[in-house]
């Protein structure tokens, strides 16, 4: 049996098919780690998806209607 440690909280996680969030111990820890990763990504300019979102938001605010 292989055991890994959750990258977020360090809890030992058994590496099995039942551990669906491995290497994280839970969905919460996975989302926390993913959220931090996305947060880092959002600070990098030039991400096509982010530019599209910002552009559409600005257009709505600048709309003279």
Residue that the structure tokens 């292989």 belong to: 2
| Cis peptide leading into residue 63 (ω within 30°) | no
| Residue 6 binds to Zn ion (criterion: CB under 5 A) | yes
The two tokens of residue 62 are 């600048």
Binding span for Zn ion by CB under 5 A among 8-16, 31-39, 43-51, 57-65: 8-16
Tell me: does residue 13 bind Zn ion (CB under 5 A): no
Binding mask 20-49 for Zn ion (x = CB under 5 A): -----x---x--------------------
Q: Which residues here bind Zn ion, judged by CB under 5 A?
A: 6, 8-9, 11, 25, 29
């Amino acid at each position: 049996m292989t055991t890994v440690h959750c990258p977020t909280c360090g809890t030992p996680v058994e590496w099995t098919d039942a551990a669906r969030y491995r290497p994280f111990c839970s969905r919460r820890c996975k989302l926390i780690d993913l959220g931090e990763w996305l947060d880092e990504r959002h600070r990098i300019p030039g991400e096509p998806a982010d530019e599209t979102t910002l552009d559409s938001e600005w257009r709505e605010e600048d709309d003279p209607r």
